[in-house]
Amino acid sequence: MTALPPPREPGRYSVTIVCLGNICRSPMADVVLSAKLEEAGLADRVEVTSSGTGGFHVGDPIDQRAAATLTAAGYDPSQHLVRKFEPARRSTYDLVLAMDSDNLADIGGADDRVRLFRDFDPVDPGADVPDPYYGGPAGFEEVLSMVERTTAAIVAALQGEFSLR
């Protein structure tokens, strides 16, 4: 697994997650990562946001199918509102995670703090999170499973960073 970039300011960390629409994949990752950070006692130190490179759905809630998948798994997706990625903010985060390689290219490509989300996937590192938007419910389940194991690895890395293990 790839290493977590160090915080720019000791004791705090900001993560933003980017997909195309900010209606399916990045909100699912945002909701699950936020819940796991809360459980780990890191919610007040780590800020999580998400956005999309396309502006089609700005201001909308999360996709209903993504919401149903999250709710069935015990998460609360009700607070999400779609935001568009702001290129000027790219360099203001500790870590920017793109859900697929198109999203990564659209935000200007990888660097030390700008990575693929699944660079942190312990099972298949470096792969894309497939876009479930035009598919059926199984696609959302698949995304949730990738998101759960990858966010668990990210939280473990953050716990290491903050020495809470």
6 vs 79 by CB, closer to ligand 4NP: 79
Q: By C-beta, is 93 or 117 nearer to ligand 4NP?
A: 117
Q: Quick check: 97 and 116 in contact, CB under 8 A?
A: yes
The DSSP symbol for 98 reads E
Please tell me the distance from the alpha carbon of residue 71 to that of residue 149, in angstroms, as a whole number. Answer: 17
Number of residues that bind ligand 4NP (CB under 6 A): 11
Which of 137, 134, 117 has the alpha carbon at shortest distance from 125?
Answer: 117
**30 in contact with ligand 4NP (CB under 6 A):** no
Shortest gap between Cβ of 74 and ligand 4NP (angstroms)?
Answer: 21
CB-side neighbour CA atoms (13 Å) of 81: 2
When asked if residue 61 is in the footprint of ligand 4NP (CB under 6 A), the reply is no
Pattern 5-24, ligand 4NP, x by CB under 6 A: --------------xxxxxx
Positions annotated as catalytic residues are 19, 25, 131
